[in-house]
Structure 1
Amino acid sequence: MTDTFAKACIKHDKALRQRVHLFGVLLGEVLHEQVGKETYTVVERLRKGYLKLHAKPDRALYNRLTRLIESLQPEMLSAVVRAFSIYFMLVNIAEEAFLHRQRRRIAGKGSELWEGSFDHTLRGFRKQGIAPQQLQNILDDAAYIPVFTAHPTESKRLVVMKLLRRIFLTSEVLDAPKRGINQRQAAIKSLKTQIQILWKTEEVRAVRPEVRNEIRLGLYYFQNSLFEAIPQVFRRLQNGIDRVYADHQEYHGIQLPPFIRFGSWIGGDRDGNPFVTAEVTRLALKLQQQTILGEYIRRVDKLIAELTFSDRFCTPNWSFNESLKSDNERYQAFFQDNPRRFEDEPYRRKLFIVRERLKQSLQTVEAAPTPIQDSNPEAYTTETAFQRDLKLISHSLLSHGDEDAAEGELQDLIHLAETFGFYLARLDIRQESSLHTSAVAEILRITGDETEYQKLNSQQRIQLLDSVITEGTTQPLQVDKLSQETRDILEVFDLIADSKRDISPLAIGQYVISMTHHASDIMEVAFLGSLSGLIGLQNGAWFCQLEISPLFETINDLKNSESILDELFSNSCYRQLLNANNDRQEVMLGYSDSAKDGGIMASAWNLYQTQKRIIALAEKQGIQCRLFHGRGGTVGRGGGPTHQSILAQPGNTVKGEIKFTEQGEVLSNKYSNFETAIFELTMGITGLFKASLGEVRDIREEKQQYLEALEEIATISEQHFRKLTEGTDGFLDYFYEATPVNEIGMMNIGSRPSHRSKGNRSKSSVRAIAWVFGWGQARQNIPGWYGIGFALEQWRRQKPGRMKTLQAMYRHWPFFHALLSNAQMALFKTDMTIAWEYANLCGDNSTRDRIFSEIELEYERTRKQILKIARIDNLLDDMPVLQKSLSRRDSYLDPLNHIQLGLLRHYRHTDLQEEEEEMWLRPLLRSINAISAGLRNTG
């Protein structure tokens, strides 16, 4: 954001502090009234005590607070933890509402808006000489695709999220113009009631959620937020274009294509999750259909009430009249009770037919899995037919001069219909490569094509798969002879074929292959798809209804990705499949596992280089390649502000399209409230537009000096990270003992296990989410910064004057700036004093001292180097709004961390009986939730 926005936030920070104070007072009143004076007194003693400690060390006070915590029983600890957890939820609401008000205040002044707004971006384009046709080209090529995933699942329950939405809306009343007597007092009373309900609502799940719960949680963001946000985004973009370009001599209007698309992994991601079956995937698709059809019906109902044009006062155009005439004959049954319904109101009659057809579609979806077109001729058979009817009405309204009516609620519905179709979000399927290999080996053995497939190298496998895809297997496949595991895999491909035929060709997105190590991994999926009729020859021409996306996750796989894709693109069979798919290939890049593998700097740099190499290879081969970024919520998993993250991509690699995962708490932070969703979508979209300028004009390449510098720095960083995490005796023991990672695995926040292999405590087995989550809870956060300081210091010392080079890189290279800015955030959330307390959980003092001293040394080194490079005195000085936000929480996290430490000591005590373990586990799991709320991230 620009300094203007930051200054506005700082200037009005008192208003935010007052709102936070109000929420705190109301929560205090609820505590005092609902749980009594004793609990309230404990909360206040801890809150005020740790505030003092945060300002000034005091050993005597620290000891008194520690003794207080140790004296508390589990039930009291649960209440105290819940109080702090709810406080953080309320602070998050206050901040979100405050930022929304600041944006509204700036917009109300009518001046240039903040960086990342449509207004600011378009004005920048105009100053750079981007002509209207060039802008149209950018829009036509654009594809902005957030993909919702369930790992980690949002730790808040859906019922709690709905409560928080009500509190957000009520808090908005406090800032609204007065419309009645005692408006403020009534709003405050309502807020207190809602906080009291929140206090009495269980926020921790009693049981681990099933995938169906995760699906419904994902749908909540569409129902509660995105259905309102999407039309507003298109409206604001159109208004911005008209405002900025209206006086351009070449401006004759801009058409907005449906460039926003949503994807989902919820119900489709079966990698490491045995609970995602074909039945569950079908349920996900069905629930998505029901959700979007229900929304269309609701909006058409509104239009029936609004478009009350009489044919006495307007004349619809010929196309509309012909369509309505045909519908009247075909759908007479809809008017059996009243044949003359809306007979002189043509748009209402047409919309009535549209609504009834949508209802028929919805009833068919709810009743059975039978294809709509086969079971109900009155239902819409395709989403395009529905879109066509809406556009017929729009064009007709325009033909008799009713532009405002055409461009109002009707245009909003058209944008929704083009964005969501009849499928809502394209459901990606993901599975791990080794399972495909096992299935292919079994199938080829049964068909007599190859008895020892797994002993073949990648090239030999590709040759064999080329043959069986092109010519078929030697013998027909007898499915009943296959193992259950292989039949389960084939059932997924049958499901893909059914969904593309029965729901929409766009219902299923990519088939993502995690842990792609060889070109044959992709060809195996193509072969499995051919068995379900998704791939093959028809009338001598290839068809391919399966879009396959390799996922490169580890550092080694990122480095090998170019050679893997080159081998794949050189295969004649696969190249013909690509040709049948308009020469389009998607490649997914894994941020989480590569960061866990080689550290954040090596991961970021290898991802940067990989993108450039893949795009260069695709262009050389005449292939249009879209990169899919597998980002997590935290810095250690590729997270960070979306706008800056997109601009930090290598030049000329975005190519108008960006696809990325949105995970866990990121979903609730961005999309719980449609007001914030509009802002977040806008920031991402403008980032995409800016990053796509290379499509319409030449852009400056990164300096070779910068690239060479980071190559050396990243190599040093990776070596240092691996030395700690792979070359230090006892490191994994330290990780499991000095963080609550084992206890995190007991939380009911997601359906997927925290480890790839049960009982395997290796670094490769622990999932990146649990890895980052554990370090974050222990306030050590090494996934977000470890290795950066050592590498920068070592590289800088090799030659004089290199600090100036690093400072120039930070100022002028968006990639390097984003990398160090994100590291600043991770460092700011790190607290070495508290981290030492967690280190003391380690059973071996020698191991503890060795490893913690390395972590502490690297923390100080990294902080010092970044401050010098960024030319600031304190972390986040150049991001004051974020700095204030995190500082506001920091002192309130201290008591929670100390409570968690005490709970871990109790829970891990070897002499506890089973009942006592359970008694201490409950508040412990609550403390994990509460610290997550304070840090605003889980994994």
Structure 2
Amino acid sequence: MAATGSTPDTPNPAAIEQAIATPMVERISVDDTGRVLTEPLRDDIRYLGGLLGDVIRAHAGEETFRLVEDSRQDAFGIRYADRTRDDLAARYVGRGVSDLMPVIRAFTNFALLANLAEDLHRERRRRIHLRAGDPAQPSSLAGAFAKLADAGLSDAEVAAALVDAEVVPVITAHPTETRRRSVFDAQNRITELMRIRSRTELTPAEEAALSADIGRQILLLWQTALIRLRRLTISDEIVTGLRYYGASFFDVVPALNNDVRAALAEAYPDADFGGMSMISMGSWIGGDRDGNPFVTAEVVTEASSSAARAVMRYHLDQLTTLHQELSLSARLFRPVTEALTELGAHHVPAGEPVDGDDEPFRSAVTAVRSRVLARALVTLGEDVIDPAERDIAASSVPYDDADEFLADLDVIDEALRAGSDASIADDRLAALREAVRTFGFHLSGLDMRQNSETHEEVVAELLAWAGVCDDYAALDEPARVELLSRELTSRRPLTSPDADLSDLAIKELGVVHAAAGAVDRFGPRAVPNYIISMCTSVSDMLEALLFLKEAGLYVPGATPSCSVRVVPLFETIEDLRDGAATLTATLGLDFYRDLVRAQGNTQEVMLGYSDSNKDGGYLAANWALYRAELDLVKAAREADVRLQLFHGRGGTVGRGGGPSYDAILAQPPGAVQGALRLTEQGEIIAAKYAEPVSARRNLESLLAATIESTLLDTEGLGDDPAEAYADFDELAELARRAYSALVHETPGFVEYFTASTPLSEIGALNIGSRPTSRKQTTAITDLRAIPWVLSWTQCRVMLPGWYGVGSAVQEWIGADERRLAKLQDYYENWPFFRSVMSNMAQVLAKSDMGLAHRYAQLVDDEDLRERVFTMIVAEHERTIAMYTKIAGTSDLLADNAALKRSVYNRFPYLEPLNLMQVELLKRFRSGEDSPLIRRAIQLTMNGLATALRNSG
């Protein structure tokens, strides 16, 4: 057993001073090979930076340009020890906020351009590898299929494992993603122009013209406000989430689904993959009301209708283009199938001109489009239809569902193939058919989510109003389950239109009724899940089902039915530990087991990465999640239920972030089973999905990892992993103790955290639609995970991504070199542990105790400041030392060359943003309050979030 009473060594004051004085970027070295490989990247950054500098000089003036340039030179001087942070910080002291604003905007815009250059460089490197015929890279579909081929799996094995395969990225709102559509569009235009510059042999005149075009776009970017002045509304977040469909998803998702199906069919010809569409899309924006009072019935309707409107417009636009393209003449095309002729002759409104017998494909497309118009009119109203087409819509027969629409497109496809025109069928028509399979008439599934405490309160009120139970809250768990089971096997509702209910109950019931309306209008895929936050018991799950019953979505009976799955979300470490028992007990109820059987015999469970981390720290949370998955897999197997896991990951490592491919491969055996849902949030969405090339790469990595994890042994611990599991039980407990000693047990910690980070400003500065806390308290437990992580990220401590690991490892190893050897072996062979350590190292590389020390000076209580900050720095150094022992290198980014180059090349540019933020926070907290200083602080937050790329 590990030692339990020792206290980790604290570095001496000199070591702490050294840690504060040394920027983390000084600990990262890029060798000559790395410099050669990144020369095109640095060329792009210099080029874009030069154009931005020209814009700043011309439009902000020489003085501002000099301040920006001097700040840049000082920032790089800090790296080379030619300058100090005091030198750079002194440039901002005493300057007016109006003077600092353009400097903040300059470095924020530079971060946007640097992101763009890095994405283009990764694209460039991939193209080099592909042209060279190099082996398929990990995380690519080609790489995944190569591994499957090596494994020698049979067609039947692959088909059985992937029969219900599904990968669902779920788009969620996030307070650090505040960029406006104009900024988003300008970035995309610059990206396309830079691609032309990179790939095209230009004449001097062409190059000058292209530079002028890029400079013009940078000027537009410079003169466009980066953030809104007013607080974001959920409507804003809905619009932001939907923009990614036009930017990439409409093009990429159907094509990728087609490619996966074709690749599987080619590799395993005896298996049937005909109906497979692995990727579909989900959303929480407008349905997640956990801690967000602004999600109402009207918002649910707006979110589902906006999504349906977007996909209807896409389908109609594609049909218009398809009509233009399919000009095939019956005089030249043979044979024209009877089904095509019949399709073209039917469902065309009386008096509406058609293309006649000579252009049968156009006639068929006209007929199909008229029915889609009719469907849009029935479900969305006239606003979505051009006034000139409203008569056509009103006189046509609407499709009942997307399957009918797809069946008619299949008729057109079969007719083209009958005439040996498969190449035409494989183009736009194939993409549209796949889009209909993927997006239907709903676009994406809108999940409902609410906290179990709210459910309990409202259910108690409903039961009391109906005369069923006067004091539901007083019942113990068995009595609650018995009562709820009785109600859920009865068809009797608990409410009526004239019920005298509280505002909370009316609002909550209104939301589920709106969800039922969305299902009725757009189909069952429009609202697939009802998620229970902080789910701790069987009654928590049944209370949510009772809500669905009141809305008519759950129908009791001998064979109960419900198109919406009830999904428990296990969040804290304790709840993760007990999750399998909760699931087993719920499945033990006959009526609930019958319901799951009717829902395809699949039970979805969501795992919370954020609150578990906030509860117990990085290592304890990661191990609790791994253990929970093992237990849930076992429970589902014993209940003969297919388990589908939903990973509530954030952008930062502290919230489950990190490379998705590695994270999926690090799941325990049986945890994937062909199905994966995961949240995608904030600036991570922009980084991954803002344009088609990056969207394709990132979605492909999700597919590759899902396929590999489903069909291959990726754990790497052999047949008896019990010893490894026991070791990590001990390590996780030690890490949790070290973390709790700081976060939960140190007197004054909350005061230190609030003062040394921009936490209070996050709540005050109109960032996001959601309040920063679930309740109006200062308790860490009530604080939402995003502001918790975002605050530590802004001040460059990054505490949720590493704290407690160093102490745990040091104490567990003690003087036993054999234990160190075991951890080194786990690091080498166990993807879970390697992923945990690699992600932690990335966070440590982005942290900076020198900058953190400047934020610590915002804490007025000197004793508290020194006590807590010393604990943080000591653990930071200890964790780096332990990582070095396990990984065998002091290079924190040895296994991530791309991130190493990014950190080395551009992290000096973060220095001015951090130092200006500290200066502005000092002024703001000393009483200098104005709209300008608030906006300046918000801009520094946005700039740092943009530059760090995974900040909340």
TM-score (norm 2): 0.92
**Count of residue correspondences:** 916
Q: Report what 1:448 is aligned to.
A: 467
Query: Within 5 Å, which residues of 2 pair with 1:48-67?
Result: 48-56=73-81, 58=83, 62-67=85-90
Alpha-carbon displacement from aligned partner over 1:474-530 (angstroms, at most 9, x marks no partner): 987464322221122222222232222221121111001111121101111212222
Deviation at 1:376, TM superposition (A): 6.9
- Secondary structure of the corresponding residue to residue 46 of structure 1: helix
- Structure 1 residue 435 and structure 2 residue 457: aligned? no
Q: Report what 1:348 is aligned to.
A: 362
User: Which of 929, 936, 939 matches 1:926?
Assistant: 939
Q: Report what 2:331 is aligned to.
A: 312
Q: Which moved more, 1:419-428 or 1:492-501?
A: 492-501
Query: Percent identity at matched positions?
Result: 32
* Contact 1:139–1:256, Cα closer than 8 Å, also in 2: no
Deviation at 1:363, TM superposition (A): 3.5
Q: Which moved more, 1:821-830 or 1:478-487?
A: 478-487
Query: Within 5 Å, which residues of 2 pair with 1:758-777?
Result: 758=776, 760-777=777-794
Deviation at 1:57, TM superposition (A): 6.0
Q: Report what 2:484 is aligned to.
A: 465
**C-alpha spacing 1:363/1:473, structure 2 compared with 1 (3 Å):** closer
* Contact 2:108–2:942, Cα closer than 8 Å, also in 1: yes
Q: Separation in 1 of the partners of 2:224 and 2:336?
A: 56
Q: Separation in 2 of the partners of 1:62 and 1:450?
A: 65
Q: Report what 1:338 is aligned to.
A: 353
Deviation at 1:723, TM superposition (A): 0.6
Q: Separation in 1 of the partners of 2:258 and 2:347?
A: 35
Query: Within 5 Å, which residues of 2 pair with 1:91-170?
Result: 91-152=114-175, 154-170=177-193
Deviation at 1:251, TM superposition (A): 6.3
Q: Report what 1:405 is aligned to.
A: 424
Q: Report what 2:23 is aligned to.
A: none
Q: Report what 1:13 is aligned to.
A: 38
Q: Report what 2:302 is aligned to.
A: 283
- Structure 1 residue 580 and structure 2 residue 598: aligned? yes
- Secondary structure of the corresponding residue to residue 803 of structure 2: coil
5+ residue gaps, structure 2, are: 1-30, 385-389
Q: Report what 2:20 is aligned to.
A: none
Q: Report what 1:3 is aligned to.
A: none
**C-alpha spacing 1:637/1:348, structure 2 compared with 1 (3 Å):** same
1:825 maps to a residue whose letter is Q
Deviation at 1:881, TM superposition (A): 1.3
Q: Report what 1:30 is aligned to.
A: 55
Alpha-carbon displacement from aligned partner over 1:807-851 (angstroms, at most 9, x marks no partner): 110111000000001101110111011111111111111101111
Q: Separation in 1 of the partners of 2:60 and 2:362?
A: 56
Alpha-carbon displacement from aligned partner over 1:207-253 (angstroms, at most 9, x marks no partner): 1111111001100001111111123323544665578x4xx8x6689
**C-alpha spacing 1:606/1:475, structure 2 compared with 1 (3 Å):** closer
Q: Separation in 2 of the partners of 1:123 and 1:546?
A: 37
Q: Which moved more, 1:322-331 or 1:68-77?
A: 322-331
Deviation at 1:113, TM superposition (A): 2.5
Q: Report what 1:196 is aligned to.
A: 219
* Contact 1:693–1:699, Cα closer than 8 Å, also in 2: no
**C-alpha spacing 1:492/1:880, structure 2 compared with 1 (3 Å):** same
Query: Within 5 Å, which residues of 2 pair with 1:812-891?
Result: 812-891=829-908
Alpha-carbon displacement from aligned partner over 1:639-677 (angstroms, at most 9, x marks no partner): 011101100111111111010000011100001011100
- Structure 1 residue 937 and structure 2 residue 950: aligned? yes
1:28 maps to a residue whose letter is G
- Secondary structure of the corresponding residue to residue 206 of structure 1: coil
Moved segments of 4+, more than 6 Å: 6-10, 250-253, 372-376, 695-699
* Contact 2:377–2:394, Cα closer than 8 Å, also in 1: no
2:370 maps to a residue whose letter is E
Deviation at 1:545, TM superposition (A): 2.7
**C-alpha spacing 1:695/1:406, structure 2 compared with 1 (3 Å):** farther
Alpha-carbon displacement from aligned partner over 1:531-578 (angstroms, at most 9, x marks no partner): 22222345x432223311011111111111122112211112222222
- Structure 1 residue 756 and structure 2 residue 769: aligned? no
Q: Separation in 1 of the partners of 2:678 and 2:250?
A: 20
- Secondary structure of the corresponding residue to residue 780 of structure 2: coil
Q: Separation in 2 of the partners of 1:189 and 1:741?
A: 42
Q: Separation in 1 of the partners of 2:54 and 2:813?
A: 55
Q: Separation in 2 of the partners of 1:8 and 1:50?
A: 24
Q: Report what 2:676 is aligned to.
A: 658
- Secondary structure of the corresponding residue to residue 372 of structure 2: helix
Q: Which moved more, 1:679-688 or 1:864-873?
A: 864-873
Deviation at 1:167, TM superposition (A): 1.1
User: Which of 692, 696, 711 matches 1:678?
Assistant: 696
**C-alpha spacing 1:179/1:295, structure 2 compared with 1 (3 Å):** farther
* Contact 2:618–2:802, Cα closer than 8 Å, also in 1: yes
**C-alpha spacing 1:352/1:724, structure 2 compared with 1 (3 Å):** same
Q: Separation in 2 of the partners of 1:451 and 1:938?
A: 47
Q: Separation in 2 of the partners of 1:586 and 1:425?
A: 17
* Contact 1:394–1:410, Cα closer than 8 Å, also in 2: yes
Q: Which moved more, 1:796-805 or 1:290-299?
A: 796-805
Query: Within 5 Å, which residues of 2 pair with 1:536-555?
Result: 536-537=555-556, 540-555=558-573
Q: Separation in 2 of the partners of 1:165 and 1:472?
A: 54
Q: Separation in 2 of the partners of 1:564 and 1:76?
A: 58
Q: Separation in 1 of the partners of 2:795 and 2:305?
A: 41
* Contact 1:152–1:938, Cα closer than 8 Å, also in 2: no
2:824 maps to a residue whose letter is Q
Q: Report what 1:724 is aligned to.
A: 742
**C-alpha spacing 1:120/1:469, structure 2 compared with 1 (3 Å):** closer
CA RMSD of aligned residues (A): 2.5
TM-score (norm 1): 0.94
- Structure 1 residue 265 and structure 2 residue 251: aligned? no
Q: Separation in 1 of the partners of 2:407 and 2:560?
A: 30
Alpha-carbon displacement from aligned partner over 1:166-185 (angstroms, at most 9, x marks no partner): 11111111012237662222
1:159 maps to a residue whose letter is S
- Structure 1 residue 714 and structure 2 residue 732: aligned? yes
1:388 maps to a residue whose letter is A
* Contact 2:757–2:795, Cα closer than 8 Å, also in 1: yes
**C-alpha spacing 1:473/1:834, structure 2 compared with 1 (3 Å):** same
User: Which of 380, 386, 399 matches 2:399?
Assistant: 380
- Structure 1 residue 782 and structure 2 residue 799: aligned? yes
**C-alpha spacing 1:831/1:136, structure 2 compared with 1 (3 Å):** same
**C-alpha spacing 1:479/1:252, structure 2 compared with 1 (3 Å):** closer
Alpha-carbon displacement from aligned partner over 1:736-771 (angstroms, at most 9, x marks no partner): 01111111222333100111123x111012111001
